[in-house]
Amino acid sequence: MNKLNINYVSLSRIASHALRHEPWLYELELDDEGWVPVEELLSALRAEKPEWSSLSEADLNEMIAASDKKRHELRDGKIRALYGHSVPDKLLKQPAEPPAVLYHGTSPEMAVLIKASGLQPMSRQYVHLSVDTATAEQVGRRKARAPVLLEVRAKLAAESGVPFYRGNDLVWLADQVPAQFIMFPKKGTDLFSLL
């Protein structure tokens, strides 16, 4: 642990809630790219728990370093969540060239809907895609015991005009992905095929 005895998982969870879902509950206002001043977030977090009364920017740096996924970014006295936003106003992202292939883990029931209408952001601002099958499978297990892994032909989709945005080293984002760029597993195999 650390000098303040901070549980960084708990801190990350609350910071994520404040920066991704309901900033107004913490009296925070995100700018167009999701940034808030570090001092404003620290003030809100200090009010959440008495043991966080002397929380500092160094603690936020430690929270980011301790995370298994890079969820937050600190820069120039500001902090933001990198992905996973469900706030009403869409955050601005800069399009970037994606890897050739990305992956998406989902439930078997959702895979049927995705096959019909493509990947949609649902309650989030963007579709979340993983750079590897292990991460996609981990995400998919949140939705089903036996998740379905979809392979997204991201480079081909981007060349056809679908914008992609870098979330972090493991996560890419898209507004939506049409079904024609998604490969589904063949029944009874780990091999992928187009619709």
Please give the CATH number for the structural domain made up of 102-193.
Answer: 3.20.170.30
**Residue-wise pLDDT tens digits, 93-121:** 789 999 999 999 999 999 999 999 999 98
Question: What b/e string do you get for 139-174 counting C-beta neighbours within 10 Å, with b at 16 or more?
Answer: bbeeeeeebbbbbbbbbebbeeebebbbbeebbbbb
Residues 6+ apart with CB under 8 A from 149: 103, 104, 105, 133, 136, 137, 140, 185
Q: What's the pLDDT at 39?
A: 94
Which percentage of the chain shows pLDDT scores above 90?
A: 51
Residue 49 has pLDDT above 50, yes or no: yes
Q: Are 78 and 66 in contact (CB under 8 A)?
A: no
> What pairs with residue 130 in β-bridges?
103, 171
Tell whether domain 8-81 is in CATH 1.10.10.970: yes
Q: What's the pLDDT at 103?
A: 96
Q: What's the pLDDT at 50?
A: 83
CATH 1.10.10.970 segments of the chain:
8-81
CATH 3.20.170.30 segments of the chain:
102-193
